[in-house]
């Protein structure tokens, strides 16, 4: 791999390159996970570009399992043989393997390569279980994971060369942040056709084929239910009961398994409930949000009544992009939409489309005022007119929040 082999249309995603840079050249396997087509390969290209800019004759080995030229690499023996042929003795070898889960028993090869301290290894995969099982056992603590998300709102503006305004925020709410959209006309028919194809690939390759599922009708109904109920609190049993009322007979254990498959494929993200007073996780009840809001809109349709759901999903995705661990908070019967934690700091967040009544204001601010600690608290809305901070709880416009990173 040389600089000339790297696509010249790369738009740098600095959030990820800054996270990775401290680990460049270190004897630890860098693992990049995320939904298909969120840009994992291009993050690898950025890292290769930096390595080759620093050392133009660096030996960079790149294998992309979605490229037909690498079809012959089917198992760990094929992988090891190919890399050994490309390696250069007595110098650093930078090894990049894209969509490594397509290679049988790849863990054995990665472990063997990692034993050579001159090898600097980077791998990507479209399944959250990439670091579980044998790979985790073989490598122990010698891995670090970077989760790659679809574009944040600020990245969306950079990619599409757009200004920050309400019209372009509306485009982001509708189309989402899949990076390839920069190559397409931003029209609903074109974008949704592309997103529909991504969705089909994820479901069939990363869910149905990977887990050998036969009840695909139930899977489709489950996904559509999740897309219609973004941010709603429910359990596997409540989903099962609802689907049974729609003549889809499935047990809550199967619901639990299938939602696990969907989160493993990064199609949706699960948010657990946290007891603020008891400082513990609840055993039941969870929320689901979509990795890309555009794919959610393809499934559920883009309806005016869904604006609040979409806003909440976008805020959740932004928190993930910024590296927060996110939970849903409960204090008695009062819900806090998000408890966002990073570096031992916590922020409490409520999300509402607009504060259009005293009842709404009382609910959104009141839930946060019940939390008696000194961590930041905010209510995020689409309102253009801002209310004063109420007893330390800040009112923040969604665009201001999304551009603050």
**Average pLDDT, stretch 233-254?**
88
180-230 residue pLDDT tens: 999 999 999 999 999 999 999 999 999 999 999 988 999 999 999 999 999
Instruction: For residues 339 and 328, give the distance between their C-alpha atoms in angstroms, rounded to a whole number.
Output: 6
48 neighbors 80 (Cβ within 8 angstroms): no
Instruction: For residues 314 and 301, give the distance between their C-alpha atoms in angstroms, rounded to a whole number.
Output: 16
First to last CA, the chain: 34
283 neighbors 237 (Cβ within 8 angstroms): no
What is the residue whose two structure tokens read 């055993």? 283
Which helix (H) or strand (E) segment holds residue 362: the answer is helix 358-369
167-180 residue pLDDT tens: 999 999 999 999 99
| Amino acid 279: pLDDT | 86
Q: How confident is the model at residue 134 (pLDDT cuts 50, 70, 90)?
A: low
- SS3 of residue 1 by DSSP: coil
19 neighbors 43 (Cβ within 8 angstroms): no
Residue 386 has pLDDT above 80, yes or no: no
**Arithmetic mean of pLDDT over the chain:** 94
Q: How confident is the model at residue 110 (pLDDT cuts 50, 70, 90)?
A: very high
354-371 residue pLDDT tens: 999 999 999 999 999 999
259-282 residue pLDDT tens: 999 999 999 999 999 999 888 998
242 neighbors 281 (Cβ within 8 angstroms): no
Q: Which of 106, 107, 101, 144 is nearest to 126 (CA)?
A: 101
78-87 residue pLDDT tens: 999 999 999 9
For the record, the structure tokens of 1 come out as 């791999």
| Amino acid 16: pLDDT | 97
Is the CATH number of domain 3-147 3.30.450.20? no
Name 345's Cβ contacts closer than 8 Å, sequence gap at least 6.
375
How many residues would you count in the chain? 405
Classify 87 in phi/psi space as left (phi over 0), alpha (psi -120 to 50) or beta.
beta
| Amino acid 201: pLDDT | 97
User: What residue ranges of the chain are covered by domains with CATH 3.40.50.300?
Assistant: 3-147
| Amino acid 367: pLDDT | 94
Cβ neighbours around 289 below 10 Å, total: 22
């Amino acid at each position: 791999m040389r600089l000339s082999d790297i696509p010249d249309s790369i738009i740098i995603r600095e959030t990820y390159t800054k996270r990775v840079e401290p680990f460049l050249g270190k004897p630890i396997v860098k693992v990049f996970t995320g939904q298909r087509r969120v840009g994992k390969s291009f993050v690898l290209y950025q890292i290769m570009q930096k390595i080759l800019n620093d050392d133009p004759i660096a030996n960079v080995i790149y294998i992309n399992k979605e490229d037909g030229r690498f079809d012959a690499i089917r198992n760990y023996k094929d992988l090891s043989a190919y890399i050994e042929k490309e390696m250069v003795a007595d110098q650093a070898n930078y090894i990049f393997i894209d969509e490594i889960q397509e290679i049988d028993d790849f863990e054995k090869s990665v472990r063997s390569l990692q034993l050579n301290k001159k090898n600097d290894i980077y791998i990507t995969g479209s399944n959250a279980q990439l670091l579980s099982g044998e790979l985790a056992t073989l490598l122990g603590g010698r891995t670090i994971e970077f989760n790659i998300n679809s574009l944040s709102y600020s990245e969306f503006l950079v990619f599409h060369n757009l200004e920050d305004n309400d019209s372009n925020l509306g485009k982001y709410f509708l189309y989402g942040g899949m990076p390839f959209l920069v190559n397409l006309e931003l029209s609903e028919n074109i974008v949704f056709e592309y997103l529909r194809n991504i969705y089909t690939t994820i479901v069939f390759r990363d869910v149905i084929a990977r887990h050998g599922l036969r009840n695909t009708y139930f899977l489709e109904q489950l996904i559509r239910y999740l897309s219609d109920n973004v941010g709603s609190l429910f359990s596997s049993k409540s989903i099962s009961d609802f689907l049974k009322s729609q003549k889809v007979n499935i047990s809550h254990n199967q619901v639990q398994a299938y939602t696990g498959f969907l989160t493993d494929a990064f199609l949706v993200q699960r948010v657990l409930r946290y007891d603020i007073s008891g400082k513990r996780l609840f055993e039941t009840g969870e929320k689901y949000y979509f990795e890309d809001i555009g794919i959610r809109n393809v499934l559920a349709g883009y309806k005016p009544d869904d604006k609040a759901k979409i806003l909440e999903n976008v805020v959740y995705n932004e928190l993930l992009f910024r590296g927060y661990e996110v939970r849903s908070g409960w204090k008695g019967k009062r819900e806090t939409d998000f408890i966002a934690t990073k570096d031992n700091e916590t922020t409490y967040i409520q999300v509402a489309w607009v504060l259009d009544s005293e009842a709404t204001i009382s609910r959104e601010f009141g839930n946060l005022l019940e939390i008696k600690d000194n961590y930041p608290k905010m209510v995020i809305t689409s309102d253009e007119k801002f209310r004063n901070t109420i007893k330390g709880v800040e009112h923040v416009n969604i665009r201001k929040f999304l551009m603050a990173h």
